[in-house]
Amino acid sequence: MSSQTLREARQYEEVYEKLIPAEERPKFHLSPRVGWMNDPNGFCIYGDKYHMFYQYHPYDAHWGPMHWGHAISSDLLHWEFLPAALAPDEFYDKDGAFSGSAITLEDGRHLLIYTGVMKRTVENGQVKEFQTQCIAIGDGVDYEKYDANPVINSDLIPEGSSKTDFRDPKIWKKDDGSYRCLVANRAPDGSGHLLLFKSDDCIHWDFEKIFAKNERRYGLMWECPDFFELEGKGVLLTSPQDMLPEGFEFHNGNGNICIIGDYDSATDTFTEEKVQAVDYGIDFYAMQTIKTLDGRRVMIGWMQNWDTSGAHDGKEPWFGQMSLPRELSIKDGRLCQWPIKELEDMRSGKVECKDALVAATQDLKASDSESIQGGVSFDGVKGRCVDLELEVKPANPDDMYDRFVISIAADEKYHTDIVLRPKENIAKIDRKFSGSRRAIVHQRRAHIPWNGDSIKVRIVLDRYSMEVFFEDGLYVMTASLPTDVSCDGIYFNTNKDAIVNIVKYDLQ
């Protein structure tokens, strides 16, 4: 039987969802049914549908007491909302049902595992937040919390590790039928480590080992871990808080990292080999993956940034969206991401420009001042729901441009820029002219070792976002866009003559 708290949330979202026109949402990125969305939760296949749960505050467009929102899809691009799955309605989760994951049990029931948050006063009078791992079991729509929650309590945490930073359980089933659960925790040195628990039934859990250690290298607390095997390697994804920059690989604040290494399944031993950023843009966090029925590993992240997510009008009917689903592979030892192939089924209205000249703009100097003034546009190459494939090369192979600028979501006043600087091996995204009225993070740079004079870029736009794929997906830069959807121009600028090949599709 659902609680009064959950019934009220379900009634609220059913009423207020109707006040949000479909054309005021992203077309093919999941947004909250109403109110606030952050981390993806419980990304899975159950029955014949993909399920996505998400951190959710239905009552306004700012973070609040965390519920779990719920949506289903047949293709990961078109979503149908279901009633909220969880609400903070028990003593152990009264201050929030935080992030987690999901799995199908042997008997066909659906299990959600999540972090229950409870604040309580400790000996010195301070109020502290305690986090434990809890489960709810259901049928894909309605879920009952387990009578003996929490199932992973603080007494299972290793000596010296934090009892207040203990969250975001990621569950999976092993070939022998047993289960593992990876939980983010803070180590005695103050930085993150990931704890591994094991179970035969998903209900009774034992601590197995410390699975991975940060040792103060990549930020402090590691959030939202995901682990899987891919092409003979173990792949660990996590989102560190409080990162320090390292060149253009990692940026300040809340980031995302991928660790690729060897994994011995028999002993659950993961040996780190290579560390990289997952997304080099502004808005990407808390990614989760699934293995599709046809064997692809697909990742979705929260397309926002904790350092900027408070800078919006809370009176908006919704805030937050998920990224494009991305197929993952390993290429040259790096994690490679590419838009899910189902996106190509949405393509229509092909426009192609072959060997088109973009003439140098005299006042486009090698500075940070981008402008669409004097930029080139091409007939039919515009829009805010588009899939754009672009190849850029110098008109004279002996006279390479210093800077090539692609301006999207543009009109005479507004534009967001993708800047290619091949001599420096730098790509930059810049949304300071996108219509934002706050001095939030507007720029990011990535170091991309381009090979040769030809640079290929794929840009996917969906009303309020852009996702830019370089080098066939070896580097990705993502940003949400506040620009009014009426700004649909796409312009090209260069400081030296360049030749472009463009294939542009509308996404219907």
| Active-site residue set | 39
Cβ–Cβ under 8 Å, residues 233 and 261 = yes
Strand spans (E) along 269-359:
269-277, 285-291, 297-302, 318-319, 326-331, 334-339, 347-358
- Gap between the Cα atoms of 377 and 407, Å rounded: 10
3-state SS class at 365: coil
In angstroms, how far apart are the furthest CA atoms of the chain?
73
- If we measure between CA atoms, which residue out of 135, 187, 189 comes closest to residue 166? 187
Residue recorded with tokens 């030892």: 333
- Gap between the Cα atoms of 434 and 484, Å rounded: 9
DSSP, res 66:
-
- Gap between the Cα atoms of 344 and 325, Å rounded: 12
Q: Tokens in use for 389?
A: 């494939």
- Gap between the Cα atoms of 211 and 196, Å rounded: 6
Query: What strands, in cross-sheet order, belong to the sheet with 35-46?
Result: 79-86, 67-73, 49-57, 35-46, 318-319
- Gap between the Cα atoms of 56 and 397, Å rounded: 52
- Gap between the Cα atoms of 359 and 322, Å rounded: 37
- Gap between the Cα atoms of 185 and 194, Å rounded: 6
